[in-house]
Amino acid sequence: MTTIQSRKMLIDGELVNASNGATLPAENPTTEQVIGDLPDATAEDVDRAVAAARRASPEWSGTPWTQRGRLLRDYADLLDEHRDELAELDALDAGLPVASMRADVTSAANEIRYFAGLAGETKGQTIPSGPDQLTYTEFVPYPVVARIVPFNHPIKFISSKVAAALAAGAPVVAKPGEQSSLSALRLAELVKDLFPVGVLNIITGSGATAGAGLSGHPDVPRVAFTGSVPTGARIMAAGAPTIKHVSLELGGKNPMIVFPDAEAERAAVASVAAMNFARSMGQSCGSSSRVFVHRDVKDRFVNALVKRLSELKVGDPMRDDTDMGPIAFRAHYEKVCSYVEAGIEEGATLAHGGKRPAGLDTGFFIEPTAFTDVTMDMRIAKEEIFGPVVSVLDWDDYDEMIAQANDVEFGLTGNVWTNDISQALRTARHIDSGYISVNGTGKRPTGSPFGGFKSSGLGKESSLDELLSYGRNKSVTVIL
Ligand code: NAD
């Protein structure tokens, strides 16, 4: 059994345990064994981290953007240098296939370099205001940003989602999901001496104490959150008494729409990629979990879908040739399994999977699963499962199908498959979501703004919008 040496949080430039020594266990979802632990930050630890960030603010916000950009590029290089090690930690701790975690580290480093280059956009304007006046705006970074992220892309989120705030000149206190914190703790060791003291603090622990302590902290004016809708709602409420600027990247139940002119087999293979079966066992917010397939091509689509799913190799996430590992942790595994049962009970047809894979008796494994004959009154069509379960719904009336596609609380992504460009653009307009792919798998180029509509969130990330959201514009009028 691999055991990870106990690791510490980064607060105020020091690697520390929780102030009361409390820890949470880190469980390997492949072996179901405890492989290490993580500090369970207390309210006092949160206070220390927030105070450290605030102390670091005057110097960091006054650091020339070119220098901030240089440090961010060094940060990205550090990730690249430690790519394999960090990817292996995520594979052990969260069951995510190691090859896709390497790709996550590379993608995180690219996003950090993007924001390093963008840091100079934290500039102001002059406003024409007459011959005897000068009016200008100045970008004022927030003195501290709380960055709370979920369990599903552990190293990618904890490392890259601090980059925009740091580029903007705002110190950060970051917290990963408690189910997959080991790579964040290794990151804490790696960056300890990179940024000035207090500029980047990484704390670990429960949502109830570390997360809620941060998001409700009176000295934290800016909270950027990625996670579930219920937690997002709690974070908004926690921010209300001190009028925090809150941005939210939340869940999805994303439609993919296949038109009769699309090549059904290609669309089916793309739907497996868009559902992120292989990369993260469907544990991705942008996954296309509801596929609306036109009745004319449904049989061809479903045959190709089942064929592709049966090719996916489920097993040890530490192996390079594994497509799917286990679900990240026990409670989530049980939730995913309960949705499979609900689909069967509600009358959907189980076209593939739904069981523990043969030969994998230990670990939170489930076969890639597809339901057909799904209708919008079923829970599997409405609720976010966040696991390797795709629902196929058929359609022949466009307006009815679009109404169904939009008939969920979420509005994160959408995916359109057709060769008719006008139809594609019309449908992209009609889907009430924040990010649409046409004839793709949902892969996003660096710099493309990402963020949900409806309950899927508030604000846009991975773009200039995100950088600028970590500061305020101050307007100054000078009478000459
Ligand atoms: P979660 O909401 O349970 O937890 C996310 C983070 O919030 C964790 O760090 C957790 O400790 C913390 N937290 C929990 N309670 C808190 C509270 N009261 N106050 C402050 N912080 C608290 O989400 P999860 O289960 O880790 O992640 C899965 C969810 O994240 C899914 O809904 C998924 O769609 C969503 N997600 C969205 C995006 C996006 O970009 N839109 C990306 C990835 C995941």
- Half-sphere exposure of 466 toward its Cβ, with a 13 Å CA cutoff? 30
First vs last Cα of the chain: how many Å apart?
73
- Average pLDDT in the 59-75 region? 98
Cβ neighbors of 204 (< 8 A, separation 6 or more) are 9, 24, 38, 39, 40, 41, 175, 176, 178, 181, 184, 185, 210
81 pLDDT above the threshold of 60: yes
Q: Which residue in the list 27, 178, 285, 466 is annotated as catalytic?
A: 285
CA-nearest of 334, 40, 49 to 208 is 40
CA-nearest of 343, 449, 395 to 118 is 449
Instruction: Let me know how many helices (H) and strands (E) the chain has, helices first.
Output: 17, 22
Note the helical H segments in 296-397. Answer: 298-311, 330-345, 379-382
Q: Which amino acid is at 204?
A: T
- Average pLDDT in the 92-119 region? 98
Residue with tokens 């008494």: 241
- Average pLDDT in the 47-52 region? 98
Percentage of the chain lying above the pLDDT 90 cut: 98
* pTM of the complete model: 0.97
Residue among 178, 285, 413, 444 whose CB has most ligand 1 atoms within 8 A, to mutate: 285
- Annotated catalytic residue 285: yes
pLDDT tens for 194-236 read: 999 999 999 999 999 999 999 999 999 999 999 999 999 999 9
Q: Which residue in the list 27, 111, 178, 249 is annotated as catalytic?
A: 249
pLDDT confidence band for 2 (50 / 70 / 90): low
Percentage of the chain lying above the pLDDT 70 cut: 99
- Using a 6 Å CB cutoff, which residues line ligand 1? 148-152, 175, 177-178, 207, 211-212, 215, 226-228, 231, 234-235, 249-252, 285, 384, 386, 412, 452, 457
CB 172 within 8 A of CB 144: yes
CB 462 within 8 A of CB 450: yes
pLDDT tens for 135-145 read: 999 999 999 99
Look over the chain and give the mean of its residue pLDDT values, rounded to a whole number.
97
Residue among 38, 175, 231 whose CB has most ligand 1 atoms within 8 A, to mutate: 231
In angstroms, what is the span from residue 457 Cα to ligand 1's centroid? 12
Other beta carbons within 10 angstroms of residue 129's beta carbon come to 13
In angstroms, what is the span from residue 394 Cα to ligand 1's centroid? 31
Where do the domains of the chain lie, and which CATH numbers do they carry?
Answer: 9-250+456-479 (3.40.605.10), 255-445 (3.40.309.10)
Q: Which amino acid is at 158?
A: I
CA distance 334 to 345: 16
Note the helical H segments in 148-243. Answer: 154-160, 163-168, 182-191, 212-215, 229-239
Please report the pLDDT score of residue 1 as a whole number.
45
Note the helical H segments in 197-253. Answer: 212-215, 229-239
Please report the pLDDT score of residue 183 as a whole number.
98
147 pLDDT above the threshold of 70: yes
CA distance 396 to 145: 48
CA distance 317 to 31: 11
6 pLDDT above the threshold of 80: no
pLDDT tens for 408-421 read: 999 999 999 999 99
DSSP for 400-428, please give it.
HHHHHHT-SSEESEEEEE-S-HHHHHHHH
In angstroms, what is the span from residue 300 Cα to ligand 1's centroid? 37
